[in-house]
Amino acid sequence: MKDEGPVIFPNDAVSYAVYRYCKEHSVPLPEHLFKLAQFTEENLPELSEMMVSGLQAQYLIWTARSIGAKKILEIGCFCGFSALAFAEALKDVEGAKIVTTDINPKTCEIARNAFRDAGVDNIVTLIEAPAIETLQSLQSDGPFDLVFIDANKDGYPDYFKTLLDLNLIRKNGILIADNVLKRGLVADDSDNNPSSGDKDEVWRASKLREFNGLAAKDPRVETLILPDQSTQYRDFIFTPKLVSKPDVELIRSTSCVAESREKYQARGYSFEECCELTSEDTMSDVMRALRNLGHTVELIGDIKDLVERLAITDENDERSPSKWDLVYNDSEGFIGTAREAQIPGLLEAYGIPFTCASAATYAICLDKGLTKLTLELFGIPTAPFAIIQNDGIGTASEQALRAIKQSKHREKLLHSFPLFAKPAAEGTSKGVLTSSKIHDAEELGNSIEVLFKKYPRQDIIIESFLSGREFTVGIIGTGAKARVLGVLEICWHNRHIVDTSTMEVVTTNDRGIRILPEDMVDFYTFNLKVGHGSHSLQSVPDPKDPEVIKACGIALQSWRLLKCRDLGRIDVRSDKFGPDAMPCIIEVNPLAGLIQGASSLVTIAENAGLSYQDLIGTVVESAAERIRPTMAPTDSCINMGR
């Protein structure tokens, strides 16, 4: 067993004592590792120092077990000592896989015999080929949980770049590289270093210096070098955190669920019925981004397609949901007031991880009445409101007045017009008309009647009209990690209009409802929301503006209260203009649109410097944190050296 090279202590005697002490108090090594080390030292004495030390082998075992590794890649097998250590760590892991590579036929033969004798040749695959060639052939097998480099030092820079460029290391994975200080030459190759006279070693040190520099500067990783043994300068580099290119930890297979707008329209449903559904172009954009991030992507479809797949119980079936590491959820649902919660509820029942909010959060947030009740209970500002239930008792006007009188806000709602009416469980401003802004009791009854007829199975929200500034706030992350991504202000061109009740352009229909032209309202109607005319613009407000700060603050507070996750948008509007304005939550959107070139959230991300691919990556990266909380919190690369 090679134990030369004392750790850094006052003298060799103390160093060796500490080294032995560390070995004795660390994870034990199995007998077959000692036998392989002894065989190598006796038969290849001049090369035996290429093996890692016993303590390093203990570290490799401990690390592999600590991160829950299942797939390990080794570059530089030599006689199989470190690969055998990894096999010890993974021997009881179901589906464990270790791939190691080398080009020396003699040492490869020793390694194969060692794997066979230890009974681990079923989980260890030795590829006898150049490392770069091997890495390129393994792209479909990756990413790996742990990668160990212990090969020719001049190849380290290329190995590092290839591993990251081919997404061969998963998010939260670890890269360990041996011998990155090269007898201290990377730090000092002057005459101060006794090894400076060895030109070959100095050249190798220059390549290691390049490698260390790449790891230190690459924005995808963080790096730490720890010297271990003074005479041989054994050392470690620790590089956790992939930032700009998350291959996203354990997520190798991502399935997408979403209702296709085009398919539902082809079945005979109207554009208005289908407008909230995901277009095929948008789904293609999302899937392309996922593939570029290193995922294998499959489009499942809607809830019926999902149920069909969930019914497959044979795990060997390629269509089995057991193959999915994550589901990217973009499902709006189609039927019911809790439709957005339907697919998340199924996925939760089957224990399948998915992006964005839980079923409970979707059920609350789609119901504007429940959302407002929850916000109000916790003191988050929202417009005074009443929930009108279509119980069929009395006229629409009578039902509306009865609901208002039962509301804690009755005085405000009965005596302070204008009011605003909208269905409780719709999105994309469906059900919002130019007549939704109500100026008197007569208009109230007429407007509610129209909504009852259009949405007979839904409650109707009646609330005070908020006449101040309007914002939409993008939020990224979950819980304490959630943060405001950015904010846009909706600026209406006609904000000079104060009283529409006396305007000559206003007409009245046969039910007595005041009808305004689309270009004369200061709120989003359905037609305006879907692009049939526009008289507003979105601007980036001053982030230091006190009203903007308040709006972002209550948006983030609401996001956390309602347990939204990963990515979404919250709409905020102030009760009036001026320094005393109070921003109020209008709606919480835990499943916001991601249409390139159109959706507010995409614009907010672009303003924050995030490309569309980066935006999708942040969603998956945030969701990945919920999958295996026992995993290391960040990607890691550790370099060990002598």
Q: Which SS3 state, helix, strand or coil, does residue 388 take?
A: strand
Residue-level pLDDT at 532: 52
Residue percentage of the chain with pLDDT more than 70:
86
Q: What is the pLDDT of residues 425-436, one digit of tens each?
A: 999 889 898 889
The pTM of the full predicted model, rounded to 2 decimals, is 0.60
In CATH, the number for domain 253-354 is 3.40.50
Task: Report the range out of 128-142, 179-193, 396-410 with the highest average pLDDT.
Answer: 396-410
Q: How far apart are CA 350 and CA 360, in angstroms?
A: 16
Residue-level pLDDT at 519: 62
If 0-12 CB within 10 Å is exposed, 13-18 middle and 19+ buried, where does residue 642 land?
buried
Q: Which residue has the higher pLDDT, 126 or 527?
A: 126
Residue-level pLDDT at 641: 35
Query: Is the distance from CB of 542 to CB of 548 less than 8 angstroms?
Result: yes
For residue 4, pLDDT beyond 60:
no
Q: How far apart are CA 525 and CA 432, in angstroms?
A: 5
Residue-level pLDDT at 24: 84
Q: Are strands 225-229 and 169-177 parallel, antiparallel or unpaired?
A: unpaired
Q: What is the pLDDT of residues 192-239, one digit of tens each?
A: 888 888 888 888 888 888 888 888 888 777 777 766 553 343 444 433
Q: Are strands 437-438 and 419-423 parallel, antiparallel or unpaired?
A: antiparallel
Query: Is the distance from CB of 524 to CB of 429 less than 8 angstroms?
Result: yes
Structure tokens of 466? 């908020």
Tell me how crowded residue 500 is: count the other CB atoms within 10 A of its CB.
Answer: 18
Q: How far apart are CA 358 and CA 349, in angstroms?
A: 11
Q: Which SS3 state, helix, strand or coil, does residue 226 take?
A: strand
Query: Is the distance from CB of 501 to CB of 513 less than 8 angstroms?
Result: no
Q: Which residue has the higher pLDDT, 282 or 530?
A: 282
Q: How far apart are CA 635 and CA 66, in angstroms?
A: 13
For residue 345, pLDDT beyond 50:
yes
CATH 3.40.50.150 fits 12-247, yes or no: yes
If 0-12 CB within 10 Å is exposed, 13-18 middle and 19+ buried, where does residue 348 land?
middle
For residue 243, pLDDT beyond 50:
no
For residue 564, pLDDT beyond 60:
yes
Where do the CATH 3.40.50.150 domains begin and end in the chain?
Answer: 12-247
> What contacts 464, CB < 8 A, 6 or more positions away?
383, 384, 385, 409, 412, 413, 416, 419, 420, 575
Q: How far apart are CA 362 and CA 621, in angstroms?
A: 20
CATH 2.30.30 fits 384-465+510-517, yes or no: no
CA 239 to chain centroid, in Å, comes to 20
Q: What is the pLDDT of residues 590-628, one digit of tens each?
A: 999 999 988 999 999 999 988 999 999 999 989 988 875
Q: Please state which of the four CATH numbers 2.60.40.1260, 3.20.20.70, 3.30.470.20, 3.90.45.10 is assigned to the domain occupying 367-383+466-493+535-620.
A: 3.30.470.20
Q: Rounded to the nearest 10 degrees, how much is the dihedral formed by the CA atoms of 109, 115, 116, 120?
A: -150
Residue-level pLDDT at 454: 93
Q: Are strands 234-237 and 169-177 parallel, antiparallel or unpaired?
A: unpaired
Q: What is the pLDDT of residues 477-516, one digit of tens each?
A: 999 889 999 999 998 765 543 344 443 444 444 444 445 5
CA 120 to chain centroid, in Å, comes to 36
Q: Which SS3 state, helix, strand or coil, does residue 160 take?
A: helix
Mean pLDDT of the chain: 85
